[in-house]
Chains A and B, each alone.
Chain A
Amino acid sequence: MEWFEYLSWGNTGWGDELLQGLGVTLSLALVTLPIGLALGLLVAAASVSRSRIATSSALLFTTTIRGLPELLTLFMIYHGVGLLINKLLKFFDPSAGFFELSPFVAGTVALGLVFGGYAGEVLRGAWQALDKGQREAALALGMGRLHIFRRIELPQMLRLALPGLGNLWINLLKDTALVSVIALNDLMRMANIAVGSTKKPFLFFLTVCLIYWLICIFFECCIAAMEKRANRGIRTASLTRS
């Protein structure tokens, strides 16, 4: 079949180019994940804190970031931060050349913000679901706040937050496709380039869809396994037929 020829390796096929694009997509998602998680943890910490300013700024951040289209956030970061950096550069050094924000960095920042906004809500829910008595017991034992967080709160939070975070990870993988719009050579854009040269749009976009689908199914299985492992010490009342 001629379709396979288009997807083969080497100079005639686009298989290796698509694979490169997949590498960029996955690395973007993997770089964004820790940034987003750290931000989410920060937001969650702010929203459970006793400071009025911290809670309201966390609320403002999560509602704004969740109310905006991801594409708009991406453009705001890509163009906005780019312009800002250029203005600052011109201000400090009028002879400075034009600085171009790399699409990868812009994508990481924008997707990290989106992930952080949603993860903040997920982690806050998990944090508030913890048993207060445990914290009190730890305080009574003389444990410090950081110590309590690391040894008692965080491990349990992760178990409760895992389903929500898993969904966010899948969403993040899918949202990376948006970065192709600001000309990062991810899977989606590689397909675009291939279409431009071969004039076989259906074939390539279907292939891309199938690749994304496979990745999502793979990670769904991983998350299910992680959830099973995280819940191994939990006695459930449900009478599941196994």
Chain B
Amino acid sequence: MFDLLINYWPKYLDGAVMTLQLTFFSVVIAALLSLPLAMVRQAGARIYQWPIRLYVSFFRGTPLLAQLFLVYYGSGQFRPELAELGLWWFFRDPFYCALLTFSLNSTAYQIEILRGGLQAVPYGEVEAGIAIGMPRSLLYRKIILPHCYRIALPALGNEIILLLKGGAIASVITLMDLMGQTRRVFSQTFDITAYFWAALFYLAITTVFVLFWRMLETRLSRHIHFNLTDMPAKTTATTARKMKESTHVC
């Protein structure tokens, strides 16, 4: 059981690095794309909302595997045209195809998550911002987006984990990620522990990520979990009094 790990750990490591790279870049690209789209979807004109709705519905309503095949194999049907445009190098490479598909897929999910977040920002906060004369960009930057991301953070974490796991299907288009390396190791050894180790690696990655994300959540909502015992003893009394007064005012 352990000799398999001793013999093949560099393979697993390569695969894990590939999986992490793929997930990281997909998530970052999707995060950049989804924010403006979510803002349009939430507050834009009807004609701009419809294409986004269609896009989100399509990518959420079809299997990731089918999307991946559509991009990777489907592009082969237009090979002469793509070569003429100078894009064939992109669609020929399984990594780029997986990256494109996962980014597009994750964008769809993140749009929905961010839209939920934008909707959940209390309107009073926005009104207060408008009342003191904030321009729209400042309003978004200082009030809406920080609150929106705090609300959306747990759901975004779930989405990233789903993408990390969904990324395993990139092995079907011959990409050597963690799953791809595992399949190769299994086909060479016919040892079922190959999958067992892969399972442990995936669990380890998700666990570390969950812990990291929970830290991020606590950090971003530290004003909510504000705890008097965390304060230095000297200031506690005065702060407590001030807080009491401020709640009376409300």
Task: Mark A residues whose CB is within 8 Å of B.
Answer: 64, 67-72, 75-76, 79-80, 83-84, 170, 174-178, 180-181, 188, 191-192, 195, 199-203, 205-206, 208-209, 212-213, 216-217, 220
28 A-B pairs within 8 Å (CB atoms) are namely: A64-B199, A67-B206, A68-B199, A69-B165, A69-B166, A69-B168, A69-B179, A69-B202, A70-B168, A71-B179, A72-B168, A72-B198, A83-B192, A174-B61, A174-B64, A177-B66, A178-B169, A181-B65, A188-B65, A201-B69, A201-B73, A202-B75, A202-B76, A209-B62, A209-B66, A209-B70, A213-B57, A213-B62
How far is A192 from B73 in the complex, measured between Cα atoms in Å? Answer: 10
Give the number of A-B contacts (CB < 8 Å).
115
The 5 closest A-B pairs by CB, nearest first: A69-B168, A202-B74, A177-B63, A216-B61, A201-B73
Q: Which A-chain residue is minimally distant from B67 (CB atoms)?
A: A209
Q: Is B174 an interface residue (CB 8 A)?
A: no
With an 8 Å Cβ cutoff, the count of chain B residues facing the other chain is: 40
- Which chain A residues border B196 with CB–CB below 8 Å? 76
Task: Mark B residues whose CB is within 8 Å of A.
Answer: 57-58, 60-67, 69-70, 73-78, 161, 165-169, 171-172, 179, 182-183, 186, 190, 192, 195-196, 198-199, 202-203, 206-207
Q: Which B-chain residue is minimally distant from A214 (CB atoms)?
A: B61
How far is A199 from B79 in the complex, measured between Cα atoms in Å? Answer: 12
How far is A64 from B203 in the complex, measured between Cα atoms in Å? Answer: 7
A181–B195 CB distance below 8 A:
no
- Which chain A residues border B70 with CB–CB below 8 Å? 202, 205-206, 209
How far is A77 from B78 in the complex, measured between Cα atoms in Å? Answer: 38
Given A69-B202, A70-B165, A71-B179, also A201-B62 (CB < 8 A): no
